Structure 1
Amino acid sequence: MTVLNASTRRPTTWAAPPLDWKVRSVCRNSSTVKADDFFTTSKSGQDRAHAACLSCPVIVECLQATQELDSGTYRWGIGGGLDGSQRFALESEALLGHVPNLGMARVLVSPRWLLRLRDLRGVCGSLEEMTAALREQGLMVDEVTVRVAVWWSGADAPRMAWRRSGEWQSLRARLRGEYLPTILVLKGQGVSSLGIAAYLGIPGQSGARAVTEALHVAAKTGEVAA
């Protein structure tokens, strides 16, 4: 754009500032989703919110902005395609040195890859298996990036394996077994039992109680220091 410089009376080229990313968000421009859908406990409302986020061109920017605003133990509402427990889990991921490549996660939920991602979520038994399968197809992805993409796709993505053939263990036994070292690291970082449960993919107070009880039993049996 060319304007007349008032001081020199000469034409000056001026570039308009870039539009705020919020202007391009689906939730601001859609008639099918309401603001309340992002803060409701209604499944239908949450489904509408997640669907809007999945098709949003600024989902990455929204998630980053929402994470900057998150504080305290609880995270409210759906932002950047993730609910409060999922964003809580990402904080623990970061403490463990796991930072998602959000650009690659966006690729995984693009029309080209979304169906494949959903298929893998149905046939694989863990994030590790999904990540390995995607790498075999030439995608340079890690587990936390795949985890974000699965969340964006509308499915659960627990850190704990969700399918194990021929093996059954109680939740607390699994927490005291293969997941105890990670639980202890997060505890040492000051993460609450609620936050650890969110990281593992068993969010809510029941998950927090399971983590607390697993730590208690492990201390009682001498597996860890009391």
Structure 2
Amino acid sequence: MTPSADIRAFMGRLGHRFRRPELLVRALTHGSIGSATRPDNQRLEFLGDRVLGLVMAEALFHADPDATEGQLAPRYNALVKGETCAAMAREIGLGEVLKLGRSEMLSGGRRKEALLADAMEAVIAAVYLDGGFDAARDTILRLWQTRLDSLDDDPRDAKTALQEWAQAHGMPPPVYDQTGRSGPDHAPVFHITARLADGREAQAQGAGTKRRVEQEAAQALLSRLEKSE
């Protein structure tokens, strides 16, 4: 098949020229528009998740020969988590070429975090099937290199760090309460309070996913704790 102009432009941003562009088209086809004659990207997402994981594990393994498993695990999680995949998808304009059903399109599907993350993994699988593991590794490392280079030695997410702080001080895990929600259904704004057993708390609000705003609330509470110590 001859890819459309927008698909060719996306190939350029991705950095892989497909010999079988139909693989990329499938990777960009969401279940809301898929059919028996037009397969969607769910199976590719499953494969791409594993390819990304292997490439990141190998890169981290070689980057720091002295790191323990306990040090490597949070770095790995920071690189392969859904938020990172969605951020990468936004950086290369993946949402612009997603093939969505009408209802998903009208509900803001091109901006949805989970949908973008899943499609990014599917695209990785398409590169792997089209060009083999070396091509997939080269593509992933080129896209993720900045994140690899700037990765903290201890990139635990804020919720994990706050839970460990609470445990170290003899407290149960913090709780996260949704105290409000505003905005349209396709772009909700969540209001979250992170609270410790001793009553100390912090709030955050933002668009995207509830999980992301919980992370922001946890970070706000961590910052408050650091100032009080």
Q: Do both share a fold (TM > 0.5)?
A: no
Q: What TM-score range do you get, normalising by the shorter chain?
A: under 0.3
Structure with larger Rg: 1
Higher helix share: 2
Higher strand share: 2
With the length of structure 2 as denominator, give the TM-score of the two structures.
0.26
With the length of structure 1 as denominator, give the TM-score of the two structures.
0.27
